[in-house]
Chain A
Amino acid sequence: KNEVEQSPQNLTAQEGEFITINCSYSVGISALHWLQQHPGGGIVSLFMLSSGKKKHGRLIATINIQEKHSSLHITASHPRDSAVYICAVISNNNDMRFGAGTRLTVKP
């Protein structure tokens, strides 16, 4: 079993829909990252969080340390949000472990 599990693996939505991507992890962590990988392959960091909630534009990330769970929400989704979203955790011994990613397709 992977230390970082994401769900769903694939997600198709209509433009305007509210989207949730989930991440569960089984190790102790100091921080969690949400990354975005566009079809061209480039990876950018969206959020780093260790507690609570962060918001950036239409993106919201939450984390529950006790439940070892994080969610990434996209409000009013748009075709340009189509990408692979990757959850990554920094374990307590400073290793970075990655989920397999969630492929999101937003249709106009």
Chain B
Amino acid sequence: NAGVTQTPKFRILKIGQSMTLQCAQDMNHNYMYWYRQDPGMGLKLIYYSVGAGITDKGEVPNGYNVSRSTTEDFPLRLELAAPSQTSVYFCASSYASGTSPLFGPGTRLTVL
């Protein structure tokens, strides 16, 4: 199993550009999550999904969108990038709520 994979590893965007962060897992996990990690702060939940076709907002959803058309994939879309979205983004998955999540390697995004 590849686990949780994320692409790209690094990206620099200009203000107003859009991009999609990809996340995939091959463990047939129902639950998938997107977090952002800012320096000196705990991970913050952006969006999560409890299964294909179902998504919900987390703590900090503004400026982002997600979709979950398959169990495996959970892309995160930034429509109009802003400097405040400069962060490291982690995707994670788990079999069920409350079970140990498996994290992807992260995507470091800089918006200039």
Contacts and interface: CB of A to CB of B under 8 A. Distances in A.
Interface residues of B, number: 22
Interface in B57-102: 58, 88, 90, 92, 97-102
Contact of A45 (B42, B58, B101): B101
B103 A48 contact: no
B41 interface: yes
A98 B100 CA distance: 13
Given A42-B105, A42-B106, A101 B99 contact: no
B15 interface: no
The interface size bin for chain A is: 20 to 34
A90 interface: yes
Given A4-B42, A88-B42, 6 more contacts: A41-B105, A48-B100, A94-B97, A96-B33, A97-B42, A98-B35
A5 B108 CA distance: 25
A90 B97 contact: yes
Interface of A: 2, 4, 30-31, 33, 35, 41-45, 48, 86, 88, 90, 94-101
Given A41-B88, A41-B105, A42-B105, A2 B42 contact: yes
A95 B31 CA distance: 12
Contacts of A2: 42
Contacts of B42: 2, 4, 86, 88, 97-101
Contact of A98 (B43, B102, B106): B43
Interface string B37-62: 00011111100000000000010000
A22 B62 CA distance: 32
Nearest to B44: A98
Nearest to B96: A94
